[in-house]
């Protein structure tokens, strides 16, 4: 069977004062491999978070093209190298203050019917797959890299990080954050990211988790979203958007609207960005 891939992205600043999310859709990433597509979603943080995300987007595009042969030979090794190259270029970019600024990064590369996923941070990639009964199951392909994960917490703690919640009105509030010694910074929620050079000695990694998946006719869609999406949207709303919107652009808009409404209900404020990728199979 042959696979056709279509995709669209939408983004909203939400109730934040600035937009630090970014995304990339590049079809035909490898010109002599027609069914090759690169998707990247980024969520910057810190004063220069938007700069980090924008620079990382461009650097991922350049690096994936440069690494075509190495990706074909050993995709896991190649994608890990790419993430570390992007991180180093951010750290060495004099136009970006990456000391306490960085970005999450979730990458999906499709070549033929092979899906390669690489990821750092707490954005997510989920796959919609049809079950034998005909219903669609959603499978999360990425791990949320934060201190709720036992292995992630153990690593940053062993590196000397102070891990605790913010104290607001004398009460612990929000997620666990990573601090340096007795200092009030960097206050990172994620345990893996690009940039954030202050935190590299605290166990923060730019090394991604990588998964290689062979797509089949049971696979119907891929959704990539920053944490603002998943804070506001349920899987039921994702399935409803996909089921009622044959165009990925319409589904993407629906997911953005639902994420904003969901965050408002919880008094959360964040940027929200998603990429919706549809798979169409033909014999």
CATH of the domain at 97: 3.60.40.10
**Containing structural domain, residue 216:** 2-143+204-282
Structure confidence by residue, pLDDT tens digits, 82-122: 999 999 999 999 999 999 999 999 999 999 999 999 999 99
Predicted pLDDT at 40: 98
pLDDT cut 70: percent of the chain above it: 100
Question: What average pLDDT does this structure show over 200-228?
Answer: 97
pLDDT exceeds cutoff 90 at 170: no
pLDDT exceeds cutoff 90 at 188: yes
pTM of the model: 0.96
CA distances from 273 to 6, 30, 52, 79, 87 (A): 17, 25, 16, 23, 22
Structure confidence by residue, pLDDT tens digits, 59-87: 999 999 999 999 999 999 999 999 999 99
Predicted pLDDT at 42: 98
The answer as to whether 133 is a domain residue is: yes
Predicted pLDDT at 134: 86
Predicted pLDDT at 226: 98
The answer as to whether 139 is a domain residue is: yes
CA distance 195 to 238: 31
Predicted pLDDT at 129: 97
Cβ contact 128:136 at 8 Å: yes
Nearest CA to 99 out of 165, 66, 52 is that of: 52
Helices (H), 187-282: 227-232, 235-244, 248-265
The answer as to whether 13 is a domain residue is: yes
- For strands 272-282 and 219-225, give the pairing: antiparallel
pLDDT exceeds cutoff 90 at 171: no
- Structure token digits, residue 105: 């990064």
Predicted pLDDT at 214: 98
Predicted pLDDT at 169: 82
The answer as to whether 181 is a domain residue is: no
The answer as to whether 173 is a domain residue is: no
The answer as to whether 176 is a domain residue is: no
∠ CA 109-193-68 to the nearest 5 degrees?
Answer: 25
Nearest CA to 124 out of 209, 20, 207 is that of: 209
Residues in the chain: 283
Predicted pLDDT at 174: 87
Mean pLDDT of the chain: 96
Cβ contact 151:167 at 8 Å: no
Question: What average pLDDT does this structure show over 2-31?
Answer: 97
Please return the burial class of 144, using the count of CB atoms within 10 Å of its CB with bins 0-12, 13-18 and 19+: buried
Which of the four pLDDT bands, split at 50, 70 and 90, describes residue 23? very high
Predicted pLDDT at 168: 86
Predicted pLDDT at 281: 96
The answer as to whether 15 is a domain residue is: yes
The answer as to whether 156 is a domain residue is: no
∠ CA 221-225-228 to the nearest 5 degrees?
Answer: 145
Predicted pLDDT at 34: 84
- What total of structural domains would you count in the chain? 1
């Amino acid at each position: 069977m042959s696979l056709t891939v279509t995709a669209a992205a939408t983004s909203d600043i939400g109730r934040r004062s600035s937009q630090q999310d970014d995304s990339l859709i590049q079809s035909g990433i490898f010109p002599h491999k027609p069914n090759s597509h690169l998707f990247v979603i980024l969520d910057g943080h810190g004063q220069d978070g938007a700069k980090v995300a924008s620079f990382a987007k461009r650097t991922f595009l350049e690096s994936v093209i440069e690494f075509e042969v190495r990706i074909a030979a050993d995709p896991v090794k190649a994608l890990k190298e790419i993430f570390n190259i992007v991180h180093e270029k951010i750290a060495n970019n004099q136009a970006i203050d990456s000391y306490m600024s960085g970005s999450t990064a979730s990458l999906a590369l499709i070549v033929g019917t092979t899906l390669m996923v690489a990821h750092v941070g707490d954005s997510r990639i989920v796959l919609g797959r049809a079950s034998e009964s005909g219903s669609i199951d959603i499978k999360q392909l990425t791990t949320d890299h934060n201190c709720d994960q036992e292995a992630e917490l153990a690593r940053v703690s062993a590196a000397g990080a102070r891990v605790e919640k913010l104290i607001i009105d004398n009460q612990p509030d929000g997620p666990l954050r990573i601090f340096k010694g007795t200092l009030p910074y960097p206050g990172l929620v994620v345990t893996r990211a690009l940039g954030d050079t202050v935190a590299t000695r605290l166990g923060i990694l730019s090394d991604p988790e990588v998964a290689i998946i062979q797509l089949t006719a049971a696979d119907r869609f891929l959704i990539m979203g920053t944490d603002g999406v998943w804070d506001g949207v349920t899987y039921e709303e994702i399935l409803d958007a996909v089921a009622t919107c044959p165009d990925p652009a319409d589904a993407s808009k629906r997911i953005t609207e639902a994420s904003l409404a969901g965050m408002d209900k919880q008094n959360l404020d964040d940027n929200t960005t998603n990429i919706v990728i549809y798979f169409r199979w033909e014999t």
